């Protein structure tokens, strides 16, 4: 085992100092507000929360590919961070609730406003949902409503912070939320509270040896059916 000093690959660009990063999702441009809190008492969480991680990008591109029909689906994202995944689902017609801890809400709400304002201004008030693979129907124009995406505080171990719409979510999203094993049981309890019998739960993560495999054993023991897809 060796400790390798970590550094940015580009010595001339420090993403931590960028006020904004832009990504292209299909016909849309996603704006990531990169302003970091002045007081980083919990520097690890702050950087992790505001970073755009590989798993975020993957699931966002899955939505944009059109393989999933999200129109009229109620989605909730746990540990939303910068909100990229939930915003990508919103662009496909879902009604989305983004959740995170209280300290993350200002950053999350800034990203929502920045992106919805831009998209609603420069894009017609419809978004085209691509047909699923193998289907012959044409893309369907649907309304894109800024009020269909919102954010609120949610702590997995504090049931009083849960949304009023318990049990009404069709899709639960989570990207890189398995890195704290001590919260795995709380996360499963949260799944139970938010889901109904047909709810789909999509989790993306990079295996880091933080007990991810144990989490899925716990999930199956709790009655969830888990299927792992290697990327």
Residue 16: which pLDDT band, with cuts at 50, 70 and 90?
A: low
141-200 pLDDT, tens digit each: 777 888 999 999 999 999 899 988 767 899 999 988 998 899 999 999 999 999 999 999
Domain assignment of residue 1, yes or no: no
Please report, rounded to a whole number, the percentage of residues in the chain having pLDDT higher than 90.
30
CATH of the domain at 131: 3.40.50.150
Domain assignment of residue 227, yes or no: no
Q: What is the pTM of this model?
A: 0.73
Beta strand extents in 63-158 (DSSP E only): 74-78, 95-100, 126-129, 140-143, 149-153
Domain region containing 157 = 22-221
Please report, rounded to a whole number, the percentage of residues in the chain having pLDDT higher than 70.
61
Domain assignment of residue 113, yes or no: yes
Strand 149-153 relative to strand 169-175, pairing: unpaired
| Model pLDDT, residue 92 | 80
Domain assignment of residue 168, yes or no: yes
Domain assignment of residue 118, yes or no: yes
DSSP annotation of 147 reads: G
Q: What is the number of structural domains in the chain?
A: 1
Domain assignment of residue 56, yes or no: yes
């Amino acid at each position: 085992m060796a400790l390798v000093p970590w550094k940015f690959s580009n010595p001339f660009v420090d993403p931590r100092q960028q006020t904004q990063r832009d990504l292209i999702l299909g016909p849309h441009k996603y704006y990531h507000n990169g302003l970091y809190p002045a007081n980083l008492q919990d520097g690890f969480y702050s950087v992790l929360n505001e970073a755009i991680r590989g798993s975020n990008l993957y699931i966002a591109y899955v939505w944009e590919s059109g393989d999933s029909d999200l129109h009229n689906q109620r989605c909730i994202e746990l540990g939303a961070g910068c909100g990229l995944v939930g915003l990508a689902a919103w662009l496909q017609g879902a009604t989305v609730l983004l959740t995170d801890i209280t300290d993350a809400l200002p950053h999350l709400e800034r990203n929502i406003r920045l992106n919805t304002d831009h998209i609603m201004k420069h894009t017609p008030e419809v978004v085209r949902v691509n047909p699923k693979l193998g289907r012959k129907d044409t893309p369907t124009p649907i309304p894109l409503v800024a009020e269909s995406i919102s954010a609120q505080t949610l702590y997995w171990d504090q049931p009083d912070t849960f949304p009023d719409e318990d049990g009404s979510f069709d899709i639960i999203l989570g990207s890189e939320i398995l890195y704290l094993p001590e919260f795995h049981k709380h996360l499963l309890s949260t799944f139970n509270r938010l889901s109904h019998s047909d709810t789909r739960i999509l989790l993306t993560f990079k295996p880091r040896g933080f007990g991810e495999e144990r989490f899925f054993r716990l999930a199956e023991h709790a009655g969830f059916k888990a299927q792992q897809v290697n990327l």
